[in-house]
Chains A and B, each alone.
Chain A
Amino acid sequence: MKNLKFLLVGICFGIILIKSEVISWFRIQEMFRLQSFHMYGIIGSAIVVAMIAIVLIKRFNIKTIYQEPIVIPDKKFNWGYVYGGLIFGLGWALTGACPGPLFAQIGSGILVTTVTLLSALAGTWVYGLLREKLPH
């Protein structure tokens, strides 16, 4: 039951992804062709709003609903961010989707995306298999 609230947040996110057309392959193409501000506006304003919220959380020491202090773990750089980032970028332009939109596309009835999702799972699995051998 504790997790139901995350289901609700997910529902909101799914609705926003569809209504803003972020999950459209065409929108992603438009972004990478620099022919529209739409995607840049969405990602940019999301970052600004989240940043303001995090500053407020820190400034007023806002706690979770369970009265725990909010902690954001630090990310430690490794070269995987570069190599993996470039590989993800190639896939992003090809499929027109990142992991979140894949789930929203399936929900919206574009069932063929299940294939892309299963491939993405396979890709994650292959990464797990090869991880020790890859440069990081």
Chain B
Amino acid sequence: MDIIKQPWPWYVAGPLIGLIVPALLILGNKTFGISSTLRQICAACIPANISFFKYDWKKDTWNLFFIAGIVIGGFIAAHLLSNPGPVGINPKTIVALQQQGIKDFSGLLPQDIFSFKALTTLKGFVFMVIGGLLVGFGTRYAGGCTSGHAIMGISSLQWPSLVATCCFMIGGFVMTWLILPYLLQL
């Protein structure tokens, strides 16, 4: 039980995530990918006569069960399989982030930026609202996210997914190194 309660190392978590790909294929020819559920929810709730949202989203209901499962899994892991608490990141990262103004390292996300209180500040708005917009717009424009392109796409040897994944990384490096230092000063 102690092993389950500790944070899992990459060589345990990574292969387990990899096994989700064949599991979904064998359980019903489903390809792993999360961002398509965002399109589905839009199609179901706010289609607004936009052609992109006029499709038979009910055919992919399995996907909605899958994300409901992720929410439940998150609940189970956080409440029954012990609280992760402070994340054991590299001390160098902590020092660098402290220099850029982050004070709180107690949870999974820094409370200075991600909290209901921070939402009323410009910083919180930029990180949560603008960040969310970029994630939603970008994944759909790119036709997939980390699960659909990086894991499902590359493992099934789709070269366009490799291109998309490289662009994910480039975007992330640009944000972290060139833009984030300014945004953290807001």
Contact = CB atoms under 8 A, between A and B. Distances in A.
B31 A48 contact: no
B31 A70 contact: no
A93 B180 contact: yes
Contacts of B7: 19-21
A123 B159 CA distance: 26
A35 B93 contact: yes
B145 A98 contact: yes
Nearest to B180: A93
Given A37-B10, A49-B14, A75-B153, A85 B128 contact: no
Nearest to B39: A124
Interface centre among A9, A85, A103 (most CB of B within 10 A): A85
A76 interface: yes
B141 to A, nearest CB: 3
Contacts of A11: 69-70, 72-73, 76
B66 interface: yes
A109 B78 contact: yes
Interface in B23-55: 23-32, 34-35, 37-39, 41-42, 46, 48, 50, 52-53
Contacts of B38: 99, 120-121, 124
> Chain B interface secondary structure, helix, strand, loop or mixed?
helix
Given A21-B84, A81-B142, A99-B34, A46 B110 contact: no
A122 B10 CA distance: 32
Given A8-B69, A64-B25, A82-B163, A126 B133 contact: yes
B84 A89 contact: no
Contacts of B172: 28, 31-32, 89-90, 92-93
A16 B8 contact: yes
A77 to B, nearest CB: 4
A87 B18 contact: no
A13 B69 contact: yes
Interface of B: 4, 7-32, 34-35, 37-39, 41-42, 46, 48, 50, 52-53, 61-63, 65-79, 81, 84, 87, 89-90, 92-93, 96-97, 105, 107-110, 113-116, 118-119, 126-143, 145-147, 149-161, 163-177, 179-180, 183
